[in-house]
Amino acid sequence: MTNKERALLIAEQAHANQTYDIYPYMYHIRMVMRILEDLGYDEDTIIAGILHDTYEDTTLTYSKVKLAFNERVAEIIYCVTDELGRNRKERKLKTYPKIRSNWRAVVVKIADRIANMKHSKQYTSDMFKMYQKEFSDFKEAINNPEHPQSEIQKAWDLLEQLSN
């Protein structure tokens, strides 16, 4: 069994009782995975994309992910996991510096945003408009010029196309 297949099984079990709009949560997880695959990212980034919501929404821990995969995957997920806050804005302001610190976390967060935008464009136009409005602040908050821009730009380009 491949690492990606194991990650999908873990995500499926961890998110078993959760939904994403009218779909099982795996709908969102598979969207993120496919975006990362289509853009040509490495296995660790794809696995982190599959598991990106697990620390935030399930009982899966950093230690268990590190043991099952490696520290890089565990760290990417940690970086994209929302910090606590009184509202969305506060949570994001606390979380964005973590994302910005790790280029693979930036990529996973962009793929997550792409998946959310694609879905909301079709189903919840208010959310889509919110993501459009947030685009420039989002990019400014997590973009880090010290990261390998050639690796990140393809994800930014796709997100920018959706945001226009």
Which position among 12, 43, 57, 160 bears the catalytic label? 57
Catalytic (active site) residue 157: no
- Give the SS3 label for residue 156: helix
Alpha-helical segments (H) within 2-148: 3-14, 26-38, 43-50, 54-57, 62-68, 71-80, 88-100, 103-123, 125-142
| Separation of alpha carbons 116 and 141, rounded Å | 18
Catalytic (active site) residue 56: yes
Torsion sign, CA atoms 156, 92, 81, 12: negative
Which position among 12, 37, 56, 83 bears the catalytic label? 56
Catalytic residues: 56-57
